[in-house]
Amino acid sequence: MCNDEGAETAMGKTLAEKIWSEHIVRAVDGEPDLLYIDLHLIHEVTSPQAFDGLRLAGRAVRRPDLTIATEDHNVPTLNIDKPIADPVSKLQVDTLRSNCAEFGVRIHSLGDKDQGVVHVVGPQLGLTQPGMTIVCGDSHTSTHGAFGALAFGIGTSEVEHVLATQTLPLARPKTMAINVEGALKTGVTSKDIILAIIAKIGTGGGQGFVIEYRGSAIRALSMESRMTVCNMSIEAGARAGLIAPDQTTFDYIKGKPHAPEDFDAAVKYWSTLFTDSDAKFDVEVDLNADDLEPFVTWGTNPGQGASLSSNVPNPAEIKDPEARGAAERALVYMGLEAGMPLKKIAIDTVFLGSCTNGRIEDLRAAAEVVKGKKIASTLRMLVVPGSARVRLEAEAEGLDKVFIDAGAEWRNAGCSMCLGMNPDQLAVGERSASTSNRNFEGRQGKGGRTHLVSPLVAAATALRGTLSSPADL
Amino acid sequence: MEKFIKHTGTAVPLRRSNVDTDQIIPAVYLKRVTRSGFEDGLFSAWRNDPEFVLNKPEFAKGTILVAGVDFGTGSSREHAVWALQNYGFKAVISSRFADIFRGNSLKGGLLTVIIEQSDVEAIWAAIEADPTTSVTVDLETRTVCYNNVILPFAIDDYTRWRLMEGLDDIGLTFKNLDSIASFEKSRTSLKPATLPIRA
């Protein structure tokens, strides 16, 4: 580490490089850096085998005080006061509870106000703060990058490694800047920004990089909207995406349960967390926010998207043979014809929720659209708050009534239909407009078809029955 | 972990790009709390199709999967690696892997080999022409060999050494507990802790 310092201070550092170097426990030439982890989030699906590994080796959790668990991926969103009906799901959730009890890890279980999607829970508790390293056995850990934290998803072997040592051996990533300048038009959201970015750089475009989102359009976003952008970094192939902290960040954290007691000192430190003006990124990408329109996906990966006002693309016009083949297969799976207007696509299910768009601001935006109206008789709408706290907050504002009066279902918190692990699934051939993050084949249920959309598009679609934006109402 | 030095077997052509981990193993199979038994979920949606490559008898015994670009995108589920291993795969060859999947595979001893797309296409053609073609993935010499074709691949020295010795990362990190303890002493008190719980 000492050897590198001189060379690095000669040139400015990017934000990602600053956080990285502050967390190096050990750096040796020819080996990955050993990085300290400030916060480890765990859930029921990717942790049981890791706890088993600890038990087999007779190891403890090194820092239970930097670890927190919740139940999200596999939990029902109905009848949560009753035992989980699926015995296999129940065993997995029970296993998390007993592991947390055995190893002294804090857990927020079903029925607790801080239960919910792990990436909604961390920020709402104020545990997600600038300058931290945060990991979780879930690829959408990149969400926490919105606070200027270096946050990324890990596998179960790495979960065990962090539980045992509070560190991870990691190769240094490359850095990418995505500059989004300009101002979003009304009805265009941060979801549209990130879907447009993924369509532009592709699902592998960010591979090996940490992305820093910069520019006036990013600075203008709320924390919730920034989380939506960082959340889907992984859909562009980047393990982490981050945004430098600013007053918006500080204001969000202030007053949260785990906000720093010496808040001024924390702000002073956080204010040093930015990319130096003379730092160089390995790659820079520009996107103009002025031109953006509501964006939706038509295919089976998040890079297969287009403006809502356009048509289903014609694979024959795609030059790259690999992309052409993928588009052809996607249209078959999705049951779509090339050239068909995207707005003509009829939807069976609208899903509002997930770690991408299940926060209070997302629910408010959608409620504003459906208020006093009825959803189309041809579809169902599931509204799944990202956490129990979000649900309570929404109920205090009367949003539950707005959705229920419109004909939507108001559910309890969890990952729900985003990944279709619990009973909330699409049937074969069913088509959704979903505020989640992945439109993979079968993601929301075997044979199900997914169009990724913003909360505004989800709400307008629910009213009209076909993919729509509020401007179409 | 089992040592990986060299593996010879037959190969399976998976002519698809962007095979995400939901395709490798759908979420409904992730409810188990063990590391084994995931082979029944491997590519489960596609295995209903008799034309799917794994359903063809000539490819049924393959131990090396040769896949299209961007294999393993999406979810971080290590179950994807376990499903491939439980099924019998020892190595996966592609021109590009998603970062998290690649990390998981190399932790667990499933060798992921990156070669040029044109070389992937050439292997596809060779194994489709003759499914009994013997393919060798040699970590010691960092090469893939078949039909007298030798393709070098890159892998960092550290990971190669760890796989060849069959060492797991936790054991290696435990040798540095002193460094971890001294780092912890220097951490700023401004960082949050989950305990004690603050409401």
* B81 in a structural domain: yes
* A3 in a structural domain: no
* B193 in a structural domain: no
| Residue after which a domain boundary falls, among A229, A259, A284 | A284
Question: Is residue B199 over pLDDT 90?
Answer: no
**Together in a domain, A20 and A149:** yes
* A1 in a structural domain: no
| Residue range of the domain that includes A368 | 299-472
Task: Give the tens place of pLDDT for each residue, A255-312.
Answer: 999 999 999 999 999 999 999 999 999 999 999 999 999 999 999 999 999 999 999 9
**Together in a domain, A228 and A83:** yes
Structure tokens, A77: 């969103």
Question: Is residue B188 over pLDDT 80?
Answer: yes
* B180 in a structural domain: no
| Residue range of the domain that includes B45 | 4-165
Crossing angle of helices A87-103 and A48-57, in 10° steps, is 40
Return the residue of A nearest to B45 by Cα.
Answer: A446
Residue A6 has a pLDDT of: 44
Residue A42 has a pLDDT of: 98
Domain count within chain A? 2
What's the rounded Cα separation, in Å, for the pair A308 and A301? 16
- Most B CBs within 10 A among A201, A203, A268, hence the mutation to make, goes to A203
B21-35 mean pLDDT:
95
Tell me the residue type at B54.
L
DSSP helix/strand/coil, A216: helix
Q: Give the one of A52, A139, A257 whose C-beta lies nearest to B198's C-beta.
A: A257
Give the percent of chain A with pLDDT over 90: 97
Tell me the C-alpha to C-alpha distance, in Å, between residue A22 and each of A27, A101, A385. 12, 32, 35
* B181 in a structural domain: no
Q: Give the one of B23, B103, B197 whose C-beta lies nearest to A440's C-beta.
A: B23
Task: Give the tens place of pLDDT for each residue, A341-362.
Answer: 999 999 999 999 999 999 999 9
Residue A4 has a pLDDT of: 47
Closest CA to A24 of B79, B179, B36, B193: B179
Does the beta-carbon distance from B96 to A420 stay under 8 Å? no
* B173 in a structural domain: no
* A448 in a structural domain: yes
* B82 in a structural domain: yes
What's the rounded Cα separation, in Å, for the pair A431 and A438? 14
DSSP element (H, E) containing A212: strand A209-214
Nearest CA-CA distance, residue B33 and chain A, Å: 5
Task: Give the tens place of pLDDT for each residue, B106-165.
Answer: 999 999 999 999 999 999 999 999 999 999 999 999 999 999 999 999 999 999 999 999
Residue A5 has a pLDDT of: 46
Question: Is residue A212 over pLDDT 70?
Answer: yes
**Together in a domain, A238 and A305:** no
What's the rounded Cα separation, in Å, for the pair A352 and B117? 39
Q: Give the one of A65, A329, A447 whose C-beta lies nearest to B194's C-beta.
A: A65
Residue A463 binned pLDDT confidence (cut-offs 50, 70, 90)? very high
* A289 in a structural domain: no
Closest CA to A345 of A465, A192, A471, A453: A465
Structure tokens, A399: 């949003």
**Together in a domain, A264 and A336:** no
* A292 in a structural domain: no
Structure tokens, A366: 């959608």
**Together in a domain, A312 and A459:** yes
| Residue after which a domain boundary falls, among A257, A284, A311 | A284
* B115 in a structural domain: yes
Residue A10 has a pLDDT of: 66
**Together in a domain, A105 and A150:** yes
Q: Could you tell me if B133 and B26 are in contact, meaning their C-beta atoms sit under 8 angstroms apart?
A: no
| Residue after which a domain boundary falls, among A259, A284, A309 | A284
**Together in a domain, A84 and A222:** yes
Q: Give one DSSP letter per residue of B69-137, joined into a string.
A: SSBTBS---THHHHHHHHHT--EEEES-B-HHHHHHHHHHT-EEEE--HHHHHHHHHHHHH-TT--EEE
Tokens 């990991």 belong to residue: A135
Q: Give the one of B23, B33, B176 whose C-beta lies nearest to A92's C-beta.
A: B33
Does the beta-carbon distance from A74 to B31 stay under 8 Å? yes
Residue A2 has a pLDDT of: 42
Closest CA to A435 of A372, A382, A377, A378: A382
- For residue B31, the chain A residues in CB contact (below 8 A) are 45, 74, 86, 88-89, 91-92, 421
Q: CATH number of the domain that A372 lies in?
A: 3.30.499.10
B75-97 mean pLDDT:
97
A39-45 mean pLDDT:
98
Structure tokens, A269: 């430190």
A95-116 mean pLDDT:
97
Tokens 């768009």 belong to residue: A357
* A394 in a structural domain: yes
Q: CATH number of the domain that B26 lies in?
A: 3.20.19.10
Return the residue of A nearest to B105 by Cα.
Answer: A155
Q: Give one DSSP letter per residue of A311-329, joined into a string.
A: B---GGG--SHHHHHHHHH
Question: Is residue A3 over pLDDT 60?
Answer: no
Residue A368, φ and ψ in degrees, nearest 5 = -55, -40
DSSP helix/strand/coil, A153: strand
Tell me the C-alpha to C-alpha distance, in Å, between residue A68 and each of A7, A41, A414. 37, 5, 16
**ipTM rounded to 2 decimals:** 0.96
- For residue A53, the chain B residues in CB contact (below 8 A) are 170
Domain count within chain B? 1
Nearest CA-CA distance, residue A71 and chain B, Å: 13
- For residue B30, the chain A residues in CB contact (below 8 A) are 45, 73-74, 421
What's the rounded Cα separation, in Å, for the pair A406 and A369? 10
What's the rounded Cα separation, in Å, for the pair A136 and A162? 9
Crossing angle of helices A388-396 and A360-370, in 10° steps, is 40
Give the percent of chain B with pLDDT over 90: 97
Residue A322 has a pLDDT of: 87
Signed CA dihedral, B184, B187, B189, B195: sign only? negative
Closest CA to B110 of B130, B128, B135, B85: B85
* A307 in a structural domain: yes
Task: Give the tens place of pLDDT for each residue, B36-51.
Answer: 999 999 999 999 999 9
The side-by-side arrangement of strands in the sheet containing A349-352 is A409-410, A380-383, A349-352, A431-434, A449-452
DSSP element (H, E) containing A134: strand A133-136
- The dihedral region occupied by B45, where left means phi > 0, alpha psi between -120 and 50, and beta the remainder, is alpha
